[in-house]
Chain A
Amino acid sequence: MKENGRRADGRGRDVGQWRRRRAEEGLFRALMVLSLLVVVGCLTLILATIIWKGLPALKLSMITQTPKGGYYLGKEGGILNAILGSLYLACGATFLALLLGLPIVLYLNVYARRFSRLAGFIRFSFDVLWGVPSIVYGAFGFMLMVFFGLRTSLLAGIITVALLELPIMSRAMDEVIRLVPRDLTEASYSLGATRLETAFKVIVRQSLPGILTAVLIAFGRGIGDAASVLFTAGFTDRVPTSLLQPAATLPLAIFFQLGTPFREVRERAYASAAVLTILILIISLVSRALARRYTRHTIR
């Protein structure tokens, strides 16, 4: 009798515990779904807003013509100047940042000792630089321009945005290259490859998808930044034909057009935002497709 009673008691406690655990599971799952909804909701709302508000101004002429009557007040023409300016600027800056970033990251991972102080310091610097506001980069770029006697130009903008992108791209590349298995690099060394050959033929190849993602993140950051190009690339209604001419950019086009008192011009700002978003979307899709093409050899 006593035995039975105790067993029943135990079972009762089990049921209670099981209910509590199930409630816990349900609660946290609900919280996670909620956060997910916030993210998805934000994205949809942003897209909806810019398309809804920009729709009246979203005409083909927006992407095929330069502004008529000035970018600040003009209600005609398009933003071709800013589209091309942004593309030139972001491509140039991303290329420059990759040119600087890849050697640094390869040095950190292939040449430097694993726990070297220098490598630690470089990584720390990148983390700090990552957090520096882009307006500070803009001011720094401007100072460099004054020092070298350069005027507001595409070149100055490219250099400044490249500096802005460098820590982002390098840290993202560093993370993926660090994941390359040690055995893989040893396999390459054991075949008589030098460090350089191992770096470019094996490590870069193995981490190519990750490197592409890093480049893309940096590109997105570069093309979307307004503060760093404000003083350095300037703004103009014309499409730049040389590196030494000022260049318009989409974020600044949005900024200027939003600041006018005219509704039609503000609509054009939203249309510009839509163009920028679609541009980034297209580039993401293309680079993802590219990444998939290059991952067929990657070792998992």
Chain B
Amino acid sequence: MRELKTHISIQGLNVSHGRLAILKDITLDIPDKRITVVIGPSGCGKTTLLKSLNRLLDPYDGLKVTGRILVDGEDIYRPGVEVTHIRRKMGLLSQKPQVLPMSIFDNVAFAPRIHGLREKKRLTRTVEHYLRLAGLWEEVKDRLNAPASRLSVGQQQRLCLARGLAAEPEIILGDEPTSALDPQSSQHVERRLLELKSDYTIIIVTHILRQAKRIADYIVFLYLGEVVEHGPAEQVFAQPRHPRTKAYLTGEIS
């Protein structure tokens, strides 16, 4: 196994709501330009872990977050850090695609526009580029001004991918990004992710083991808010070290 460069380093992360601990002392290095898949039964804190990475937990009341998360060596929970800057580094694909209430074009142009790109020609080029990257261009090129909500769910998820990529992130976060999609659309999204991993660090949360096997380079197994095991995918799937991982992989716990 080649040496993996670390992109995100999570050190002693705790998230709790009142007395309820959601994430317990997570320490983890996420490899650069690989697909890291977080697996685990529902309710084990996968989504919380993902949201803590781009500080989307901030708007929730009563959540206490301690520990450090270093992205490119910078602690994103340090006071005074620019939140929008951190979020821009990470594109998020949610479970159910959330297109913005505007046209297809405006959805992709949203992030470039708020980050200062005004010039029409360059904007058009940017939008086309990212729609192509997300594999959606051919399907929508004739109706860029149509409302994004009219696309099918599978197309909407790829639009969300294009929109996220247009913010020029380094990291793609996916919160069960295919769970609302039909098999064909899921396959489409998975294929895109595999293509994108040469340029982006990708972190996907899923409860579909087969999907994890198909796309993962690195596996993190989360159970009841704790990291039980993490390591290169081949190794975790072939010979899990922890009995609980084994039980989960064989379907004994879910």
- Count chain B residues whose beta carbon lies closer than 8 angstroms to a beta carbon of A: 31
Q: Is B103 an interface residue (CB 8 A)?
A: yes
CB distance from B165 to the nearest CB of A (A): 10
B160 touches A205 (CB 8 A): no
Binds B, one of A87-95, A140-148, A191-199: A191-199
Most buried by B among A189, A197, A202, A298: A189
- Contacting residues of chain B (85-112) with chain A, CB-CB under 8 angstroms: 85, 87-88, 90-92, 94, 96, 98-103, 110-111
A299 touches B99 (CB 8 A): yes
A192 touches B94 (CB 8 A): no
Q: Is A296 an interface residue (CB 8 A)?
A: yes
Binds B, one of A153-161, A178-186, A226-234, A252-260: A178-186
B85 touches A191 (CB 8 A): no
A192 touches B87 (CB 8 A): yes
Do most interface residues of chain B lie in helix, strand or loop, or is the interface mixed?
Answer: mixed
User: Contacts A297-B101, A297-B103 known; A191 to B87 CB distance under 8 Å?
Assistant: yes
Q: Is B117 an interface residue (CB 8 A)?
A: no
For B98, the chain A residues whose CB sits under 8 A away are: 181, 183-184, 186-187, 299
B111 touches A187 (CB 8 A): no
Closest to B112 in A: A191
Q: Is A206 an interface residue (CB 8 A)?
A: yes
CB distance from A208 to the nearest CB of B (A): 8
Closest to A187 in B: B98
For A181, the chain B residues whose CB sits under 8 A away are: 98
Tell me, in angstroms, the Cα distance from A194 to B56 when the chains sit together: 12
Tell me, in angstroms, the Cα distance from A191 to B115 when the chains sit together: 10
A297 touches B54 (CB 8 A): no
For A202, the chain B residues whose CB sits under 8 A away are: 100-101
For B149, the chain A residues whose CB sits under 8 A away are: 297-300
B102 touches A191 (CB 8 A): no
Tell me, in angstroms, the Cα distance from A201 to B111 when the chains sit together: 11
Partner of A201, one of B91, B110, B148: B110
Q: Is A190 an interface residue (CB 8 A)?
A: yes
B101 touches A190 (CB 8 A): no
Q: Is B142 an interface residue (CB 8 A)?
A: no
Tell me, in angstroms, the Cα distance from A197 to B99 when the chains sit together: 16
User: Contacts A181-B98, A297-B149 known; A191 to B167 CB distance under 8 Å?
Assistant: yes
A-B CB contact pairs (8 Å), 25 listed = A113-B61, A181-B98, A183-B96, A183-B98, A184-B101, A186-B98, A187-B100, A188-B100, A188-B110, A190-B87, A190-B91, A191-B91, A192-B87, A192-B111, A193-B84, A193-B114, A194-B84, A197-B114, A201-B110, A201-B114, A202-B100, A202-B101, A205-B102, A297-B103, A299-B98
Show the binding face of A for B, using Cβ within 8 Å: 113-115, 181, 183-194, 197, 201-202, 205-206, 296-300
Show the binding face of B for A, using Cβ within 8 Å: 54, 56, 59, 61, 84-85, 87-88, 90-92, 94, 96, 98-103, 110-111, 114-115, 147-149, 160, 163-164, 167, 173
Nearest 5 pairs of A and B residues by beta carbon = A192-B88, A190-B92, A187-B98, A191-B111, A206-B101
